[in-house]
Amino acid sequence: MQQEQTLPPAAFTPAKDCPGVRKSVRFTLKSGPALLHISRAEATRLTLVLSRVDTPGE
């Protein structure tokens, strides 16, 4: 969520070539805080990797 709005994924791909990674989801964010909400996780512990990806023209 950002600015009290749920954001649709900009890209969503299965991670076939990365052991231990199930999926990759990309969001287009504006400047400012964002909230990441994870639901329906079957595990009691999750490992997340958050990375900034600049797109051309930024």
Convert the pLDDT of each residue in 11-47 to its tens digit. Answer: 878 777 777 777 888 888 888 898 988 888 888 888 8
pLDDT category, 9, cuts 50, 70, 90?
confident
Range of the domain at 33: 1-58
Number of domains in the chain: 1
| pLDDT recorded at residue 58 | 58
What's the CA gap between 35 and 38, in Å, rounded?
10
What's the CA gap between 22 and 14, in Å, rounded?
6
Q: Does the model's pTM come out above 0.85?
A: no
CA-based nearest residue to 38, from 48, 28, 51, 27: 48
What's the CA gap between 37 and 21, in Å, rounded?
18
